[in-house]
Amino acid sequence: IKLFTSPLLKTIFYSSSANTRKQCVDYLRTLRSLQFDGFYTVYLDETRISERLIIGGNLPQKTILEPQSWTLIHAGGSHGWVPWEHSLTFKYDCQLKEPTTHQLDLFQKLCVVLNKSYGKCVVVVRPKNWTASDASHFKLQKEFNQSGPHPSSLVYLSSTVCCPQVAKASGHELLCLPSQCRHLNPFDTVWSILKLFIINNRKSFTLMTPRTNASYQYILLMDLIEKGLERVPPPKWNELISKVHRWENYYLSQF
């Protein structure tokens, strides 16, 4: 099988420390073992939908210091999008220090849907902690070094909290994707496709309501996002997952 690999990504992987490479290889071997045992791989990920992306152009003057945004969380695998009620969360809901009931319930609902749709699954997440510069990042790194890709405590994303015990209760396994292996996730491409669709089609989902002294602009945000998600049908998902698998096989063959 001929592998089409990026010299840049190979350089990044080979130039990493021995501990970093060990984390990636441990993750890949654990993932492969679960896949051989019949676990279906599901990627759970989120992206930021900024106000500028939705509206386009320059934002009007506001009394707040920074633009508003939303966080979209969804899940998918080689069979396409997971058939669940994905979440679009307003920014302020994502900044709470303690997880809300909604955040805790979201992952549990996902696990139930996965069980009904695919049976046992391995849920791969990219924790928010990986990109943080605070103590939580080092805590997660230490935990990864001790227990491998299987987290033993809560894994925080911006809009939900993933609990390993909740996953196991539904027959699933939860894996953390190491920060050095972020490209082993199809969602970077998926989110790019969605955002490009939003940029090119946002005017078609905008309603103008003229008034006496001003006109108001209404954006059908959920309709716009739903149509954008349709740009990644099951065949495209399968293509992206296959690309990830080629990278995984390449790394496993080298170490």
> Hey, how many other C-beta atoms are within 10 angstroms of the C-beta on 14?
10
- pLDDT greater at residue 249 or residue 18: 249
Judged by average pLDDT, the poorest of 180-184, 241-245, 247-251 is 180-184
Segment (H or E) for 206: strand 206-210
Q: CATH code for 7-254?
A: 3.30.420
Segment (H or E) for 172: none
pLDDT digits over 90-107, tens only?
765 444 456 666 677 899
pLDDT given at position 59: 55
Q: 3-class DSSP state for residue 131? A: helix
pLDDT given at position 151: 82
Distance (Å, whole) CA 103 – CA 1: 43
Distance (Å, whole) CA 92 – CA 198: 22
pLDDT given at position 125: 96
Query: In the predicted model, what is the mean pLDDT of residues 217-244?
Result: 95
Beta strands in 67-117 (DSSP E): 69-77, 80-81, 87-90
Confidence of residue 62 (pLDDT cuts 50, 70, 90): low
Confidence of residue 85 (pLDDT cuts 50, 70, 90): confident
- pLDDT greater at residue 23 or residue 113: 113
Distance (Å, whole) CA 99 – CA 96: 7
Is pLDDT of 229 > 80?
yes
pLDDT given at position 200: 96
Closest CA to 43 of 132, 154, 121: 121
Is pLDDT of 203 > 70?
yes
pLDDT given at position 108: 93
Distance (Å, whole) CA 72 – CA 47: 5
Is pLDDT of 146 > 60?
no
46 pairs with which residues across the strands? 73
Find out whether 154 and 161 touch, Cβ atoms under 8 Å.
Answer: yes
- Residues sharing a CB contact under 8 Å with residue 33, sequence separation 6 or more, in sequence order: none
- pLDDT greater at residue 220 or residue 20: 220
- The structural domains of the chain, with segments of one domain joined by +, span 7-254
